[in-house]
Structure 1
Amino acid sequence: MTRLSVEMLAADTVEPITSAGHAQLGIAAVAGIAVIVLLITKFKLHAFLALTVGSLALGAFAGAPLDKAITSFTTGLGSTVAGVGVLIALGAILGKLLADSGGADQIVDTILARAKGRAMPWAMVLIASVIGLPLFFEVGIVLLIPVVLMVAKRGNYSLMRIGIPALAGLSVMHGLIPPHPGPLVAIDAVKANLGVTLALGVLVAIPSVIIAGPLFSKVAGRWVDAPVPERMLPPRASEELENRPGFGATLATMLLPVVLMLSKALVDIVVDDPAKMVQRVFDVIGSPLIALLAAVIVGIFTLGRPAGFSKERIAGTVEKGLGPIAGILLIVGAGGGFKQTLIDCGVGQMVLDISKDWSIPALLLAWLIAVAIRLATGSATVATVSAAGLVAPLAADMSTTHTALLVLAIGAGSLFFSHVNDAGFWLVKEYFGLSVGQTLKTWSVMETIISVVAGALVLLLSLVI
């Protein structure tokens, strides 16, 4: 299914908590998002608090009783954290093991030793994409930026030629590939198949990152000729270690959860009989929880032990990995609460009702909604979870592949034109020592290219599968 039609059936939804009409619901949705944007941008309020207040404001503007609005928000927050909270925690632990053990440095050094000259931007895409699989975007930046700066400085490369491909690799992973929080929440909201979404996400990600990374970096290098900021050249994280895990073991550990989840998707396609033991086994080992848990346990032995970590050091690494994700968990949870408030107020059904007669692809509508929320809030994660809540009814009659493409359309839209209300914008600006204008011409344009290319590929795939 690629187009909305009059015959589309409405999704099964609970009775709305308000009797407001379409006009009032539309105003309430816009007002709720506006409150979130104002609190984040003008008053610099933490996104968790802004989403909480915005959800209650949405309920108030929609005429919902306050107690029901609170229940909707807390229900959405709880179900979202229950669904993805453990996965976020496991991903954070794996990322911390990767960084502290020197495994990330081992992969970086191995690839860079084999890449020279024109191959270097492609090597940076590969490094960032592989490392970006288990890491959050902000963590990936912190981990990769010292490498980017040292490569540019020692090899006398243009900072943009090295930096843009690395940022593109991280960003594409963040927006399109589970187990990152945004795609996971969208998968849960529209009831998509994780394995199929992962497989199609990789298919969309490869050309997107090539165009926005190595190819665009040539243009970005001409637009902005920025020197490497000396103050941002810290020592490598693993310089204190006497030993580091091997390249093969590190790579295998990082790719283990992806392989397990893809294996489950493949078995589902080939076997297609839930009663058979082989499918039941892969349903377990290919679930995100087991796949990431297995990678963490394997990582303790393949990353921590070779680095000489004692049991106490491994326990400390795990604990430190969990600390920084508290804010991420709360933001993702509050985004889920906002999403549930949208649904319970009837905004999602309103979008479905209004758009029935539109001659516009459902996937394009999902992309446009995510773009609008991204531009307004500055957060790819907030854009993903909010848009997923709004367009969830559109998935009611979709096939498995098109439901997965709906997730990818939302993810692609959530990456559109990062600007001054996005924390990632300021991270890139400060780490690369750029002005606001230079950041807009490089980072912001790169994000837009990813969004547009990925969105176009999703629409193209919807026509052929």
Structure 2
Amino acid sequence: MTRLSVEMLAADTVQPITSAGHAQLGIAVLAGIAVIVFLITKFKLHAFLALTIGSLVLGAVAGAPLDKAIVSFTTGLGSTVAGVGVLIALGAILGKLLADSGGADQIVDTILAKAGGRAMPWAMVLIASVIGLPLFFEVGIVLLIPVVLMVARRGNYSLMRIGIPALAGLSVMHGLIPPHPGPLVAIDAVKANLGVTLALGIVVAIPTVIIAGPLFSKVAARWVDVQAPDRMIPERASESLERRPGFGATLATVLLPVVLMLAKALVDIVIDDPANMTQRVFDVVGSPLIALLAAVIVGFFTLGRPAGFTKGRLQQTVEKGLMPIAGILLIVGAGGGFKQTLIDCGVGQMILDISKDWSIPALLLAWLIAVAIRLATGSATVATVSAAGLVAPLAADMSTTHTALLVLAIGAGSLFFSHVNDAGFWLVKEYFGLSVGQTVKTWSVMET
């Protein structure tokens, strides 16, 4: 078993903070989600406050001691901000650097020149799929958002027409294609063949991303006709700049984290020995934090220097890049806190207990378990690890092909209908400037 899957399994095996029965837990989940949606839609309460109150309501209805419910929420908030917050911050700095130096203009102008009109959604899904292969979803988002928003604004496209294909490309990679961490964990758990799973994953991913991306974006754009939010769009680089970075240098800077993380994933597959020095080196340089940090530092030279930035100007760019993301960090962190409260109350274990008595085909069972845990906890990782562990015994008598399909069924179920208990839901909502209802009609439906 890879170290990644061991860490995830360890994180998933928690002692419930309540002894509530399944019916009470089910009511608690519905009550917590209902309170969050009601406070946001009816009273226009800030999502951070609504998620905090909803988490406490969930714990109270589930019969958890208030002090333990608070600990669960703050632990989830802290771990989410620690894991995702730094990535969002680094991504914001890189995005601001791209914008101020003219690098983002260079990428956007090139994309608009090469793929205008009807081809643009297809170009965005291709770009997102390439970038999203080795990246965690949150990292892909922070790398793509500046380009998505600027393409939508400059090309006068509906934000959904451009944004949905990009999100679809990232999500499909996240759920179906190794060497992404999620599919790798499931492959390891059910002892599937990596090559066969990769081949079948690509076969499944192509029609999936076409339907969920460019095709569904036409419908999403009619349902939610919004423009890119002004507060999140990087300003066009000053016309006073003598020159801007070349397309090649800019693209290389953006793709640097992708290359580093993909290299780490491939080394983990080939070597898979925690004591090996090569793997330890790549574990460091290919971690999301180091990969994005390296891109920011490299960007100072490949983007800032050609634009004539002084040290003071670089410092100013970093400060301005960090300013707009404070609210996003708190909302995403609170989403993680709500998810952790769900898990600590035993909702994930409840789904596993109930599913043991289901007498249905193995592939459908794996998918349903992953869907149920995803809906209940909001975590694709918890859904993947839990479902893979539960159905692993069924894979013993399966053929190589069916074992690979079992992995894909789990991956597909783990992405099903992201909603208010998923930090990714709030990330998309805030970046795209949507309401809760608009996010459900676009992002949630696209995930489904």
Q: State the TM-score, normalized to the length of structure 2.
A: 0.67
Residues 292 and 16 (structure 1), Cα distance of their counterparts in 2 relative to 1, 3 Å cut: same
Q: Is the 8 A contact 1:417 1:447 kept in 2?
A: yes
What is the CA distance between 1:286 and its match in structure 2? 1.1
Q: Mean alpha-carbon deviation: is it higher for 357-366 or for 420-429?
A: 420-429
Name the CA distance, whole Å, in 2 between partners of 1:241 and 1:53: 48
Percent of residue pairs bearing the same amino acid type: 92
Deviations 1:407-455 (A, max 9, x none): 998996797779999999999999999999999998886565xxxxxxx
Q: Is the 8 A contact 1:98 1:104 kept in 2?
A: yes
Q: Is the 8 A contact 2:134 2:258 kept in 1?
A: no
Match of 1:457 in 2: none
Q: Is the 8 A contact 2:108 2:151 kept in 1?
A: no
Match of 2:364 in 1: 364
What is the CA distance between 1:84 and its match in structure 2? 2.6
1:76-91 maps to which residues of 2 (within 5 A)? 76-91=76-91
Match of 1:394 in 2: 394
Name the CA distance, whole Å, in 2 between partners of 1:31 and 1:327: 25
Residues 271 and 364 (structure 1), Cα distance of their counterparts in 2 relative to 1, 3 Å cut: same
Q: Is the 8 A contact 2:17 2:344 kept in 1?
A: yes
Name the CA distance, whole Å, in 2 between partners of 1:168 and 1:287: 23
1:57-456 maps to which residues of 2 (within 5 A)? 57-115=57-115, 119-126=119-126, 165=165, 207-215=207-215, 236-237=236-237, 239-359=239-359
Deviations 1:55-77 (A, max 9, x none): 11111111122122112222222
Q: Is the 8 A contact 1:339 1:386 kept in 2?
A: no
Name the CA distance, whole Å, in 2 between partners of 1:262 and 1:309: 31
Q: Is the 8 A contact 2:347 2:376 kept in 1?
A: no
What is the CA distance between 1:300 and its match in structure 2? 1.4
Q: Is the 8 A contact 1:375 1:418 kept in 2?
A: yes
Name the CA distance, whole Å, in 1 between partners of 2:33 and 2:436: 25
Name the CA distance, whole Å, in 2 between partners of 1:200 and 1:296: 36
Number of corresponding residues: 448
Deviations 1:167-186 (A, max 9, x none): 75577689999999999999
Name the CA distance, whole Å, in 2 between partners of 1:366 and 1:189: 13
What is the CA distance between 1:211 and its match in structure 2? 3.2
Residue aligned with 2:68, SS: helix
Residue aligned with 1:8, SS: helix
Name the CA distance, whole Å, in 2 between partners of 1:400 and 1:324: 49
Q: Which consecutive unaligned segments of at least 5 residues does structure 2 have? A: none
Name the CA distance, whole Å, in 1 between partners of 2:257 and 2:6: 41
Q: Is the 8 A contact 1:99 1:143 kept in 2?
A: no
Q: Which consecutive unaligned segments of at least 5 residues does structure 1 have? A: 449-465
Q: Is the 8 A contact 1:4 1:359 kept in 2?
A: no
Q: Is the 8 A contact 1:229 1:433 kept in 2?
A: yes
Name the CA distance, whole Å, in 2 between partners of 1:193 and 1:319: 47
Q: Is the 8 A contact 2:89 2:325 kept in 1?
A: yes
Residues 161 and 325 (structure 1), Cα distance of their counterparts in 2 relative to 1, 3 Å cut: closer
Residues 27 and 230 (structure 1), Cα distance of their counterparts in 2 relative to 1, 3 Å cut: closer
Q: Mean alpha-carbon deviation: is it higher for 306-315 or for 217-226?
A: 217-226
Name the CA distance, whole Å, in 1 between partners of 2:15 and 2:434: 51
Q: Mean alpha-carbon deviation: is it higher for 121-130 or for 275-284?
A: 121-130
Name the CA distance, whole Å, in 2 between partners of 1:183 and 1:315: 39
Q: Is the 8 A contact 2:332 2:426 kept in 1?
A: no
Residues 341 and 442 (structure 1), Cα distance of their counterparts in 2 relative to 1, 3 Å cut: closer
Name the CA distance, whole Å, in 2 between partners of 1:100 and 1:91: 14
Q: Is the 8 A contact 1:177 1:202 kept in 2?
A: yes
Q: Mean alpha-carbon deviation: is it higher for 371-380 or for 2-11?
A: 2-11
Name the CA distance, whole Å, in 1 between partners of 2:2 and 2:134: 32
Q: Is the 8 A contact 1:102 1:244 kept in 2?
A: yes
What is the CA distance between 1:81 and its match in structure 2? 2.0
Deviations 1:236-265 (A, max 9, x none): 455453321111111111111111111111
Q: Is the 8 A contact 1:352 1:393 kept in 2?
A: no
Q: Is the 8 A contact 1:11 1:396 kept in 2?
A: no
- Cα-Cα RMSD: 7.2
Name the CA distance, whole Å, in 1 between partners of 2:301 and 2:151: 30
Residue aligned with 1:10, SS: helix
Q: Mean alpha-carbon deviation: is it higher for 132-141 or for 58-67?
A: 132-141
Q: Mean alpha-carbon deviation: is it higher for 162-171 or for 429-438?
A: 429-438
Deviations 1:132-158 (A, max 9, x none): 899999999999999999989999999
Match of 1:28 in 2: 28
What is the CA distance between 1:301 and its match in structure 2? 1.2
Name the CA distance, whole Å, in 2 between partners of 1:76 and 1:438: 26
Residue aligned with 1:421, SS: coil
Deviations 1:258-278 (A, max 9, x none): 111111111111112222221
Q: Is the 8 A contact 1:11 1:394 kept in 2?
A: no
